[in-house]
Structure 1
Amino acid sequence: MPADRGAARRPEPRWLRWVVPAAVALAALGGWEAAVRIYELPQYLLPGPVLVGKTLWAHAGSLMASWWFTLKITLGALALAVLGGVLLGGLFAVSRWVELSLFPFAVVLQVTPVIAIAPLILIFVDSTTAALLLCAWIVAFFPILANTVVGLRSADARLRDLFRLYRATPWQTLVHLLVPSALPYFLAGLRVAAGLALVGAVVAEFTAGAAGRETGLASRILEASFRTEIPKMFAALVLVSLTGIALYGLTLLLSRWLLGRWHDSERPLD
């Protein structure tokens, strides 16, 4: 047996976590640009990354304004999902009857495609912005709710008994036991909900078919497709993708900041 077989595996350097994905992404973009040039693909069929970048720079004013609108809808829906999901999840964890009464409605919201109910929401809600916010909230709400309920109920039963033995108040039990137990589950749901909020905002705007200045990236994509401005459509898609990546990265950093010192899920593997 080799002497080092039983030794603990050293964790990979931290810089590799950034360099390797960046190198793979650059290689993919290089292959995309090379394929477009080698096969002389027309820009209305598949523009190259260089042309998409130039288009993004040329239309930065209108695209960034639309990006800001989409981002506001996404962040607003995510904030409402966190607020509603945490409060309702805490209520479900405390009262079984409340959960049995209301949880089916939450499941119905989750399994119903937002694109199917978005037209109804747009009819009943006067403000288009409020309707888009509601659609994005519906998509992002359930992961927060479900993960919060599971997390609050995952506290060790022996620790619960210990808190009762020492006559801890309900507030002390909540702060020192239930919240730390639920935090990893909540943060996992937050990572999922952040991406879903963006998807919900874009899909809702596609359904609304809104036009004008106070609209998001989905409207720019629709306009570009109608005018066969494929590079501009790709530029808007790039902004959507980068926004989703940024949201995921921020929630991941938040998770590492809150859990890195004490929870096994954020500790480096040995």
Structure 2
Amino acid sequence: MKPHTAKVLYPAIVAVILLTVWQGLVTGFKLPPYLVPSPILMLQTLVTDWQPLGLSLLFTLKITLLSFLTAVVVGVLVSFLFVQSRQVETALFPYAVLLQVTPIVAVAPLIIIWVKNPTASLVICATLVALFPIISNTTLGLRSIDPDLQSYFAMNRASRAQTLLRLRIPSALPYFFGGLRISSGLALIGAVVAEFVAGTGGTSTGLAYQILFAGYQLNIPRMFAALLLISLTGVGLFVLMAWLSKIALGSWHASELSRD
């Protein structure tokens, strides 16, 4: 079996087994839908309630993508700044760590109060969650260069810009794409958490609002349907980042050339 086929087939088999067991337990124990809905009922709810759920998905996806792109741009620029000077990195890196370890639920209310635009406040909150993996991985990649190649560039009197473009950036790409895989999922988590904290309502609502609203109404099938959309979105983002990594690294880096 081809590796690409196995990567799809094996998880699909596990998913079918888990869904079958789930359906069997719900049916066998006659669990009411307001406790645990069956997979069939969850999928039916996803179809019947697709209009509000689909609009909420688009809103959450917009916040996720905007925050992810912002995190990538800011994270790469900060990493380039760090790699230019050890003193700058030593002085500022602890504050990047501080952003990572500060719970977003603690600072999100302040950001929502300070920033009057709801969309901008949600993007800022989600960006703070997704930023650190980009900074950490890209900085590590820019630092992780072959000493012999660095000496070769120095021997040929390469400028700092030439060393950055032709040595450091190619060496950092595997680390950078690893950071993208982590950051894309964190951007989604940050968007959903920010929506929970903001309690957004009205026409511009995300999936977090659908979960809250379904919980108030004890509409547990819709809650599970919203959770399913969040999970599928996260998986889709990860697959997209893996695909981009394959395109960028597939022809030369060992991590993508391996056949095992």
**Under a length normalisation based on structure 2, what TM-score does the superposition of the two structures give?**
0.97
- For 1:21, the equivalent position in structure 2 comes to 11
Equivalent residue runs for 1:117-266 within 5 Å: 117-266=107-256
CA RMSD of aligned residues (A): 1.2
Correspondence 1:36 to 2:19: no
Larger-Rg structure: 1
Distance 1:95 1:13 in 2: 43
Residue identity in the other structure for 1:242: L
Query: For residue 156 of structure 1, what is the amino acid of its counterpart?
Result: D
1:146-192 superposed Cα distances (whole Å, 9 cap, x missing partner): 11110000011110110111222333222221111100011101100
Tell me the secondary structure at the aligned position of residue 193 of structure 2: helix
Task: Select 1:87's aligned residue among 62, 74, 77.
Answer: 77
How many residue pairs get matched? Answer: 260
Distance across 2 between alignment mates of 1:170 and 1:268 = 33
Structure 1 portions without partners, runs of 5+: 1-10
Which consecutive unaligned segments of at least 5 residues does structure 2 have? Answer: none
Alignment partners' CA distance in 1, 2:203 and 2:28: 38
The Cα shift of 1:96 comes to 1.8
**Residue aligning to 2:57:** 67
- Partner Cα separation in structure 2 for residue 13 and residue 130 of structure 1: 42
Identity of aligned residues (%): 51
How far 1:12 moved relative to its partner? 5.6
Give the deviation of 1:264 after TM superposition.
Answer: 1.0
* Secondary structure, aligned partner of 1:42: coil
Shift of 1:267: 2.0
AA aligned opposite 1:241: S
Give how far 1:222 is off. 0.3
Residues of 2 paired with 1:121 and 1:109: CA distance? 14
- Greater displacement, 162-171 / 254-263: 162-171
1-structure distance, mates of 2:219, 2:3: 43
Q: Structure 1 length as normaliser, TM-score?
A: 0.93
In 1, Cα distance between the equivalents of 2:192 and 2:103?
14
How far the C-alpha of 1:14 sits from its partner, in A, is 3.0
Q: Higher mean Cα deviation, 13-22 or 227-236?
A: 13-22
Other-structure match for 2:43 = 53
Q: Which residue type is aligned with residue 22 of structure 1? A: A
